[in-house]
Structure formats: C-alpha cells, structure tokens
C-alpha cells in the first residue's frame, strides 16, 4: 500500500505540477528566427560584476545557438561579486559594435565603483552599437552606461534602485518594471530579472 501511494504521488506531481522537465525546457525560446548566426557582446566590469547577470543570460543565449563574446576594460580574468570568474575575450576599446547583433552591459557594484558610466570606451561602445542599429541592452547598474551615452533620453527604461535618479537626470522615463523594452533598447533592474532579460533580448531578434 505504501508503494502504491508513492507511485500515485509521483504521477500527480508530474501531471499537475510539471515537476519533471526536459533539460532545455527553461532555456529554449520558441522562435521562428534562426539564432545560430547571432553574436552577442556581453560587457562586464573587470571586477565585481554581478555573477547572475552574466552567467544566466550567457547560458540562455548559448543554449539557443547564439555565440557570446565577453568584453571588459582589460583582457585576462574578470571576477564577479559572488566569486565567479570569466575569461575576457576582447578589450572594450578593441570591440567593434558592428560585429555584434547586441551589446549587453552587465551590472554589479563594479559599474559604480569603477565609474564605468564615465569610461570613454564603454560610452563609445554603447553609442556605436546604437548608431549601427544593434540592440543595446543593460541590466542592474548597467543602464547607467547607455544613459550617460545619451541613449535613454526620452526612452522608457528600468535600472537597479540606486541608479534611478541617475538615469532620470539623463532623460529616461523610469518604469520600475523588472524588464523594459523600448525599441532597440532593453533594460532590466537586477539579478532576479536575468532570465526574463535574456528572453526579451532573444525575442527582439524576431
């Protein structure tokens, strides 16, 4: 009787709650667009980028067939706030925005402590991506970079709480939503929105 109860419980769990899923169920996006020809540049601080904001979207993109290139101020290893690390493929100053379909600015305390929103290389990359008609995306404190590049003026955008006044002073209409898309500009408020952020970027390719 005990075994029968266990089996019934498992069946109910599978059918009613969907507790057993395929390995890609939560990382694949249903889209008619072939994403295998897409390349995304993910831009991080040399140290103290927010781990989830890099690794969650990066995995999401790659499982959907998109190539990901990582850029930072210098080549070598960039380190995350939570102990993660990533090999930097290219320096921000050497990156050509026209080579990518989207440029994604990752957040974290390093954006503020290293004042990346004032860094000429980061600002130029944001402007060049916008001028080339690419998606310009940013999460957490990352939106402060396109904001200071003049890209959020007159646009709807979201950002981590401590960056709200910064983007509003530069003309953005702060939405307060987890993820906001305004044309080719996509912003997100923080690590909890990382997956929705990634999915919104992929859907923008359609």
Predicted TM-score (pTM) of the model is 0.85
Question: Which residue positions in the chain have pLDDT lower than 70?
Answer: 1-33
In a domain, 153, yes or no: yes
CATH number at residue 197: 3.40.50.880
Residue 9 domain-assigned (yes or no): no
Split into its structural domains, the chain has a count of 1
2 assigned to some structural domain: no
Whether residue 81 is contained in a domain is answered as yes
Q: What pLDDT, on a 0 to 100 scale, did the predictor assign at position 51? A: 98
Q: Which domain holds residue 59?
A: 32-203
Q: How far apart are CA 120 and CA 115, in angstroms?
A: 10
Q: Which two tokens stand for residue 160?
A: 């981590």
Element counts in the chain: helices (H) and strands (E): 7, 12
What confidence score (pLDDT) does residue 27 get? 54
116: nearest Cα among 185, 180, 46, 54: 46
Whether 26 maps to a domain, the answer reads no
pLDDT at 30: 53
Within a domain: 101? yes
3-state secondary structure of 184: coil
Say what the pLDDT of residue 26 is: 53
């Amino acid at each position: 009787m005990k075994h029968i109860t266990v089996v019934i419980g498992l069946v109910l769990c599978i059918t009613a709650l969907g507790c057993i899923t395929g390995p890609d169920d939560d990382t694949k996006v249903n889209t008619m667009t072939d994403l295998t020809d897409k390349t995304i540049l993910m831009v991080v601080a040399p140290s103290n980028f927010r781990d989830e904001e890099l690794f969650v979207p990066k995995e999401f993109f790659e499982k959907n067939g998109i190539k990901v290139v990582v850029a930072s101020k210098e080549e070598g290893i960039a380190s995350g706030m939570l102990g993660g690390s990533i090999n930097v493929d290219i320096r921000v100053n050497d990156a050509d925005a026209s080579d990518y379909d989207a440029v994604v600015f990752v957040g974290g305390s390093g954006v503020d402590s290293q004042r990346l929103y004032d860094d000429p290389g980061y600002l130029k990359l944001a402007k060049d991506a916008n001028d080339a008609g690419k998606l310009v995306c940013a999460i957490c404190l990352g939106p402060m970079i396109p904001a200071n590049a003049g890209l959020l003026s007159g646009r709807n955008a979201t950002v981590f709480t401590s960056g709200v006044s910064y983007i509003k002073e530069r003309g953005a209409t702060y939405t307060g939503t987890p993820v906001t898309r305004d044309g080719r500009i996509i912003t997100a408020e923080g690590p909890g929105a990382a997956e929705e952020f990634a999915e919104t970027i992929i859907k923008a390719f359609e």
